[in-house]
Structure 1
Amino acid sequence: MKIGSFLIMAATAGFAAVSLGGCSGAKRAFGMEKIAPDEFTIVTKAPLVLPPDYSLRPPRPGAPNPSFVEPERKAEYALFGSEGLSENPQGYTGGEMTLLDTAGASSATSDIRQVLNSETASLVEKDETIAEKILFWQQPAEEAANVIDPKKEAERLKDAKTPADAGDGQKTGSKTAQAPKEKKKSWFGGIF
């Protein structure tokens, strides 16, 4: 009896191992398994190479890196091999060069972006963004209406002919001088 239960357990374990192994294989076969790149095989720059004579040459200011290969050239080499590389270093055909010469590409100014920006600077108007509209929805109150002009107030008091009556909220001649009252603002006062 012990041998039979041992065989059943061994068969169950073997079946589980095979079926679980098949699941990952099936995922890989259907493209459902994520295959992460190996971080040690990814290189952003070309590896350093020692010169053949082992003596270092001083770098020239402004000179391009001799080991640098343009990405377009790398892509051409990867796709077509050495026979697919273009003979023209700029990559332009004769027809493209004729088109560029006819269009005046060789005589184009290099600071065209600055020229256009200076010409259209007067046309640019700053629009309020939605965030500015939401954050600064309430316009500032006009304080000029609440401030009393001292010269005009002095003239008004002279015209009143009774300076003793010139008090806050009291009659001054035929006119009344009252301090402006501010409205008490509610939370939803500016919305409705």
Structure 2
Amino acid sequence: MTKILTLSVCSFILVLLAGCDSTKKFLGMENKQPDAFEVMNRAPLELPPDFDLRPPEPGKKRPQEMTKRQQAEQQLIKPTQQTPQPQVSDKALGKTRRSHYKSTSGEQAFLSQAGVGKSSTNLKNKMRQQEMTDSEDSFLKQLAREKKDPVINPYTEPTPKS
């Protein structure tokens, strides 16, 4: 009898301790989330200009990664000279800022067949004009034209008989 009582009391105590936060921490059962300030962002992978993949060298630091200080300086100190934005036609034809990327003749033919770069310059004005001349009436015009029922005068109406 005492064995059963001792076993039940011990199991009850273990169940209570399993729900306790400090016990979970002590036993290592707590989920630890990473600290947002401790996690380092890795620079994205980039293709080399000639598209030939060089084998990685073990232990060598990534060339595109910067130290925390360099990242902070880059965020705080913006470059003084602005890089020129590519024109729409150049961008549409596959010419980008990357000097190593050249669009193929197939890409250029596809873009020219799709009509890229041939859009009208006053497209917004045409759309506004079309919107103004739509045949659909506005909601207010529909309300004004709507036939209204006559207002009932309660004094002239016959009273219902019950």
Q: TM-score, normalised by structure 2?
A: 0.32
The structure that has the greater radius of gyration is 1
TM-score by length of 1: 0.29
